Amino acid sequence: MASNHVIENISMNKSFGGWHKQYSHQSSTLNCAMRFAIYLPPQASSGAKVPVLYWLSGLTCTDENFMHKAAAQRMAAELGIAIVAPDTSPRGSEVADDEGYDLGQGAGFYVNATQAPWNRHYQMYDYVVTELPALIEALFPVSNKRAISGHSMGGHGALTIALLNPERYCSVSAFSPICNPINAPWGIKAFTTYLGADKSTWPQHDASELMSKATQLIPAKVDQGGADNFLQEQLMPETLVTAAKASNYPLALAIHEGYDHSYYFISSFIDEHLRFHFEHLNESK
């Protein structure tokens, strides 16, 4: 319905021949106003429909962190890829929240909450998989060729969403993802709160659990900093490597010594990720 596709432009900035734009819209999935950013490369202004990379950010982030800090626009403009960055959770005075940085607003974990009061708004999985792409594809000069990527909590989101919906994405990548959240403090806290104490549903939102049993395979690229403070306790990339071996999954995972959890790390390797996605977005499926 057209009413679902009403958006309000907040800002726009020309960048490398394309446009970075911020919009707000009323989300029927999340029952609140949501903000997202989109970078449209110069090719989108010439009548061409360009593929889209969806970027999911980490804890405490908004749509702005990636667009401001990742330095992705130059390569996206060169390759002709649009980038869409949603916020990381529902927002607003009516939306449930928590004092901790790792729960509530800014920490949606890209799952559909089943527990009250969180289930009224925290349906980030459906928002990212269904509502937002439908909005983007209805209103912007983009194709239905999609890739997905993210960082930390967003890396968890990108991997799990791609593994659960391999027909919707050509490729997936992640920086410093929470690879095994059912065994990580961040994941245990979020899943207990959003999904409930019954852990039987948790593996459906765990990249390592999903990858170990995957049968429909799409290319995956993961980069992790070797000097990341969260590496051993929260991120556990070794679990993803084990899972990929179990299912013969096409995973390329690299540890980069000296790099930490910050956008200094992401900006150092984002061009490689964009080239990776470009290669697979342009393959015929």
Tell me whether residue 15 is one of the annotated catalytic residues.
no
Catalytic residue among 152, 171, 208, 212: 152
Tell me how long the chain is: 285
For 183-194, the pLDDT digits (tens) are 999 999 999 999
Tell me whether residue 152 is one of the annotated catalytic residues.
yes
Predicted confidence at residue 4, as pLDDT, reads 62
Predicted confidence at residue 2, as pLDDT, reads 37
| pLDDT tens, per residue, the chain with 285 residues | 334 689 999 999 999 999 999 999 999 999 999 999 999 999 999 888 999 999 999 999 999 999 999 999 999 999 999 999 999 999 999 999 999 999 999 999 999 999 999 999 999 999 999 999 999 999 999 999 999 999 999 999 999 999 999 999 999 999 999 999 999 999 999 999 999 999 999 999 999 999 999 999 999 999 999 999 999 999 999 999 999 999 999 999 999 999 999 999 999 999 999 999 999 998 855
Predicted confidence at residue 3, as pLDDT, reads 42
Residue given tokens 């709160």 in the structure block? 193
Looking at every residue in the chain, the average pLDDT score rounds to: 96
For residue 119, the number of C-alpha atoms closer than 13 Å in the C-beta half-sphere is 7
Tell me whether residue 261 is one of the annotated catalytic residues.
yes
Predicted confidence at residue 196, as pLDDT, reads 98
DSSP letters for 123-174: BHHHIIIIIHHHHHHHHSSEEEEEEEEEETHHHHHHHHHHHH-TTT-S-EEE
Catalytic residue among 20, 151, 261, 277: 261
Predicted confidence at residue 274, as pLDDT, reads 98
Predicted confidence at residue 182, as pLDDT, reads 98
Catalytic residue among 63, 97, 223, 228: 228
Alpha helices (runs of H) in 174-213, residue ranges in sequence order:
185-194, 207-212
What are the backbone angles phi and psi of residue 113, rounded to the nearest 5°?
A: -65, 140
Predicted confidence at residue 207, as pLDDT, reads 98
Predicted confidence at residue 46, as pLDDT, reads 85
For 138-149, the pLDDT digits (tens) are 999 999 999 999
